[in-house]
Chains A and B, each alone.
Chain A
């Protein structure tokens, strides 16, 4: 069974750094694109970026390029989303999601983590 298990909720202050995680299991971790989706309070869904763990090919939504870093650790079968300096506007629920099939990037996101709530407040 494919599972994506995310790290727990975080409360941070503006300017702090943060790294949240998404651990994949039940499939060949290196062979599937996996990305991050943001959902701000009461708002819709927005893709942030996506990574192919097999070779760490990482691609970002242009509007968020430089604001976050996505990485993967094959030995831990875990993908990460990190910020070097959080802002209040980063307050959101963050989901990881894996595409349906191996190989090509342009596939439907079929498997989702349970979400990690990040709250940034002074």
Chain B
């Protein structure tokens, strides 16, 4: 099993600030990495796939980077809708798809 480790567990930031979330894979997943945002009571929403491609409707202030085992999600200027729970997930080789444990971005 490929273990996905996200850090930190929680980020406390102010609106307008820049934030960077990390996701590390226990072995290489190439660029088969996605990021999701989940708000309370809602389904996850795809933000980034292929490690760095924004999904439809995702603004340019959201960006992803990395390959292999190290990945980051950056939000350049936090808006109210960005305060949520974020998951990374690799989809390198079914049935080994796994999610990270999540990072909560909360208002400082």
Residue on A nearest B98 in the bound complex, by CB: A47
Q: Please pick, from A59, A61, A106, A110, the residue contacting B46 in the complex, using a CB distance under 8 A.
A: A110
Q: Are A44 and B99 in contact (CB under 8 A)?
A: yes
Inter-chain contact total with CB atoms closer than 8 Å? 59
User: Are the C-beta atoms of B87 and A44 separated by less than 8 Å?
Assistant: yes
Known interface pairs A108-B49, A114-B43; A45-B99 also in contact (CB < 8 Å): yes
Q: Is the CB of B94 within 8 A of A59?
A: yes
Residues of A within 8 A of B7 (CB): none
- Contact, CB under 8 Å: A61 / B95: yes
By the criterion of a CB under 8 Å from any partner CB, how many residues of chain B are at the interface? 23
Contact A106–B50 (Cβ < 8 Å): no
Query: Which residues of A have CB within 8 Å of B102?
Result: 44
26 A-B contacts (beta carbon < 8 Å): A44-B87, A44-B100, A44-B102, A45-B36, A45-B89, A46-B99, A50-B94, A60-B95, A62-B95, A95-B44, A97-B44, A105-B94, A106-B92, A107-B49, A108-B32, A108-B50, A108-B55, A108-B89, A109-B34, A109-B46, A109-B91, A110-B46, A110-B49, A112-B43, A112-B44, A112-B45
Of the listed residues B46, B87, B101, the one surrounded by the most CB atoms of chain A closer than 10 A to its CB is: B46
**Interface flags, A94-122, vs B, CB<8A=1, else 0:** 01010110000111111111110000000
A interface SS class:
strand
Measured between beta carbons, the chain B residues less than 8 angstroms from A50 are 94
Interface of B is mostly: loop
Rounded to whole angstroms, the CA-CA distance of A45 and B34 in the bound complex is: 13
Docked complex Cα distance between A109 and B99 (Å): 12
0 or 1 for each of B66-99: is its CB under 8 Å from A? (1 = yes) = 0000000000000000000001010111110111
Interface size grouping (class) on chain A: 20 to 34
Partner of A106, one of B43, B45, B91, B98: B91
Q: A106-B32, A109-B91 provided; 9 other pairs, C-beta below 8 A?
A: A44-B101, A45-B36, A45-B99, A60-B95, A62-B95, A107-B49, A108-B34, A109-B46, A110-B55
List, in ascending order, chain A residues with CB within 8 A of B55's CB. Answer: 108, 110
